[in-house]
Amino acid sequence: MLQRSAPGTVFDALGDSTRRAIVERLSLGPASVSALADPLGVTLAAVLQHVQVLERARLVTTEKQGRVRVCRLDESGLETARRWIDERRREQERKLDRLAQVLGEEGSREE
Amino acid sequence: MLQRSAPGTVFDALGDSTRRAIVERLSLGPASVSALADPLGVTLAAVLQHVQVLERARLVTTEKQGRVRVCRLDESGLETARRWIDERRREQERKLDRLAQVLGEEGSREE
DNA sequence: AGGTCACTTTAGTCTTCACTTGACTTTTCG
DNA sequence: CGAAAAGTCAAGTGAAGACTAAAGTGACCT
């Protein structure tokens, strides 16, 4: 089974600007915890906590190389988010389709 | 110009489970504030505040009909979110392409 | 008019959570 | 070995924000 994350976990993780900045940075390529911390103006400890949240949401994977922890973007989390969004849109369209059908049966009308 | 919302505003709005529940409900069709409040187990005032946040993020539109406020899903916000996600993925792929190119030039290698 | 319904507003409470500090571990290098 | 670099852990602090109660507004009904 493909490792999935609950939409809730993913959106909770993305609901913080610092974590979104981390994801944006990692979409450009792997980075160490310190490299992530540098432009953010927060401590290493803070970044580490964010990375852990992102890992739980499967938005990030990490791997320890020597004394450095290398962080990478994980597509799984983004895929979970995209799927949730598309589901909301699909429902919406289904609804609009039904509406169009009713209006079609009753003759031309504007909302 | 098409009305757009900043990704930050949208993800901040979706970073709350109650608001996600509201969006999920509205993707099934329009609803009044009370109809939204009912299954959530929170007060009307709380829902109203959530709806206002969702409006700012362009995830929801509302319209007052008599004494009832009708809430509807707004695609704009979802579109903003989807675009942000796709950008992150596009960057990621671009990165992987560059990597593949380098590996290709240097002969077959595993990471 | 008077009452009820569906919000709306305000002010305050309470919890969550981002962030920090400081101590500690592990790895690297001269 | 011994010091610096990179990260880790555990409390503790503070501010944002989710929620509530209560009073107020406007629409609808009889």
What was the pLDDT predicted at B4? 80
Question: CA-CA distance, B106 to B100, in Å (whole number)?
Answer: 10
Question: CA-CA distance, B84 to B6, in Å (whole number)?
Answer: 10
What was the pLDDT predicted at B111? 40
A70 touches chain B (CB under 8 A): no
% chain A with pLDDT above 90: 76
Cβ atoms of B25 and B36 within 8 Å: the answer is yes
Q: What is the pLDDT of residues B80-92, one digit of tens each?
A: 999 999 999 998 7
B16: chain A residues, CB-CB within 8 Å: 15
CA/C1' separation A15–C18 (Å): 12
Q: What is the pLDDT of residues A59-77, one digit of tens each?
A: 999 999 999 999 999 999 9
B8 touches chain A (CB under 8 A): yes
pTM over 0.85: yes
Q: Is a pLDDT exceeding 50 seen at residue B3?
A: yes
Q: Which residues contact A70 (CB under 8 A, 6 or more apart)?
A: A30, A31, A32, A62, A63, A64
A85: chain B residues, CB-CB within 8 Å: 78, 81-82, 85
Pick B40 or A105 by higher pLDDT: B40
- Does any strand D atom come closer than 7 Å to the Cβ of B70? no
Cβ atoms of A59 and A78 within 8 Å: the answer is yes
Pick B26 or A1 by higher pLDDT: B26
Q: What is the mean pLDDT of chain A?
A: 89
Q: Is a pLDDT exceeding 70 seen at residue A101?
A: no
The H helix count followed by the E strand count for chain B is 5, 3
SS3 B42: coil
Closest nt to residue B71, judged CA to C1': C7
Q: Which of A88, A101, A59 is CA-nearest to residue A76? A: A59
